[in-house]
């Protein structure tokens, strides 16, 4: 029987969780109830299979001391850490096929952190009062299913029963499917490659994807908008990738300069840490992303700006910024435990970085290349300079072919 881990704060939502547990059982699921509440639950609350003090201990904390300290923020952080460790352990032991939670802001923060830690494909359903606003802090790059509670998760009524009932049915159905998938023969089929893309590098990625498909790969394409880059890093950490074609590294520019599409400081690190072959290019490093023109910070008013559309404004990176980016890429790849190579297009790094184009700046691009070469000097990272534009078919094909070679060589070395 598929098991749904039902995680929530029984000190404030015991009635709702008792009702959810019964619905899940009606829908054919085994249920493991985990209490993430900070205070002792009332007498009428359901008895948890994993009590709150066990959750706190999983994070190395004593729940009584957390209560006595009166620091709610620290307590929420501790419970989120403990729940994360518990669900990961249950998943590794085959005792978790889906996670379900219903909560306000604090409970949503606890549940979402644990859900995000689970691999892509593990069902995660969160009913939240916060789902009507900016949900990026809860979902980030995970496949978490978020439902707006409509009414507060406070008692049962004609609305909450419908919303929570739908969530329970969804979690139960997802859990059954996930359990069946685990019972199927092992093996993913074709090797999997992640590729990063932006609108201004789409022709290159389309060509590379077609070439890699010819070579027998399944290619997962990610839009380099921050969440896309974080998703690539997560899939690499989860062991779901055989190689990375990181053609579009523009998120690094947003992280450096302060644009709106940063993927965070860990971008371009996971594949290297795990020894996954990667071929990298400076796709769209010529730009930093902002929202509508009116939202561009005043300090950038004199910079070279391009209104991409009504909601996106691009800013050209300077020679100094390109040099910093070249150094950053070089250092990250030099730290890689597996094969890592860079392909640099000498005729431009994006669709708008072309001769006579709005972001044409050979001096800035050269500064990036020179800094990259200096950063990898003496190491094992090869840098290929191609007399081509990033979107030329020859450039994309060369990257795809080289990644195939690196993966093949890596697999040969790993074979017993």
Give the domain CATH number at 381: 3.40.50.12030
Range of the domain at 290: 190-412
CB atoms under 10 Å from CB of 9, counted, come to: 28
Q: For residue range 140-195, what is the model confidence (pLDDT) as tens digits?
A: 989 999 999 999 999 999 999 999 999 999 999 999 999 998 655 444 589 999 99
193/180 Cα distance (integer angstroms): 25
For the entire predicted model, the pTM comes to: 0.83
Same domain as 354, residue 241: yes
Nearest to 15 by CA among 102, 100, 135: 102
Residue where a domain terminates, one of 148, 180, 212: 180
Same domain as 201, residue 83: no
Per-residue pLDDT at 414:
84
Per-residue pLDDT at 224:
97
**Does residue 382 form part of some domain?**
yes
134 burial level (CB within 10 Å; 0-12, 13-18, 19+): exposed
**Does residue 185 form part of some domain?**
no
Residue where a domain terminates, one of 158, 180, 202: 180
Per-residue pLDDT at 360:
98
78/358 Cα distance (integer angstroms): 50
Domain count, the chain: 2
Same domain as 263, residue 388: yes
Per-residue pLDDT at 186:
44
Same domain as 214, residue 68: no
Measured torsion, CA atoms of residues 390, 396, 398, 400, in degrees rounded to the nearest 10: 140
CA distances from 373 to 106, 364, 379 (A): 47, 15, 10
CATH classification at residue 6? 3.40.50.12020
**Which residues in the chain show pLDDT less than 50?**
185-187
């Amino acid at each position: 029987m598929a098991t749904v881990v039902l995680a929530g704060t029984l000190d404030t939502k015991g009635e709702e969780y008792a009702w959810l547990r019964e619905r899940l059982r009606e829908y054919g699921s085994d249920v493991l109830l985990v209490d993430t509440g900070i205070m002792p639950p009332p007498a009428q609350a359901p008895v948890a299979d994993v009590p709150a003090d066990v959750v706190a201990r999983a994070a190395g904390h004593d729940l009584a001391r957390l209560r006595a300290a009166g620091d709610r923020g620290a307590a929420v952080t501790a419970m989120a850490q403990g729940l994360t460790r518990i669900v990961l352990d249950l998943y590794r032991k085959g005792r978790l096929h889906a996670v379900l939670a219903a909560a306000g802001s604090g409970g949503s923060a606890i549940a979402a952190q644990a859900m995000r830690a689970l691999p892509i494909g593990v069902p995660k359903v969160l009913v939240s009062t916060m789902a009507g606003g900016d949900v990026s802090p809860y979902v980030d790059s995970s496949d978490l299913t978020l439902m707006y509670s409509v009414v507060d998760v406070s008692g049962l009524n004609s609305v909450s029963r419908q919303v929570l009932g739908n969530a329970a049915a969804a979690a139960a159905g997802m859990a059954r499917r996930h359990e069946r998938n685990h019972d199927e023969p092992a093996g993913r089929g074709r090797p999997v490659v992640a590729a990063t893309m932006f609108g201004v590098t789409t022709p290159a990625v389309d060509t590379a994807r077609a070439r890699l498909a010819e070579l027998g790969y399944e290619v997962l394409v990610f839009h380099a908008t921050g969440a896309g880059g974080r998703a690539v890093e997560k899939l690499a950490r989860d062991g779901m990738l055989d190689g990375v074609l990181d053609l579009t590294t523009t998120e690094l520019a947003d992280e450096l300069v302060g644009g709106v599409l940063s993927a965070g400081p860990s971008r371009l690190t996971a594949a290297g840490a795990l020894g996954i072959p990667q071929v990298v290019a400076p796709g769209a490093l010529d730009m930093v992303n902002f929202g509508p023109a009116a939202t561009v910070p005043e300090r950038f008013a004199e910079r070279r700006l391009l209104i991409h559309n009504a909601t996106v404004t691009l800013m050209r990176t300077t020679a100094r910024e390109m040099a910093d980016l070249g150094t950053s890429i070089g250092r990250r790849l030099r730290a890689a435990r597996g094969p890592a190579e860079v392909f640099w297009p000498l005729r431009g790094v994006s669709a708008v970085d072309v001769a006579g184009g709005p972001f044409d700046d050979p001096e800035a691009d050269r500064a990036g290349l020179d800094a990259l070469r200096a950063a990898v000097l003496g190491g094992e990272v090869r840098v290929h300079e191609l007399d081509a534009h990033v979107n030329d078919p020859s450039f994309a094909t060369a990257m795809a072919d080289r990644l195939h070679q690196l993966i093949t060589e890596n697999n040969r070395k790993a074979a017993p």
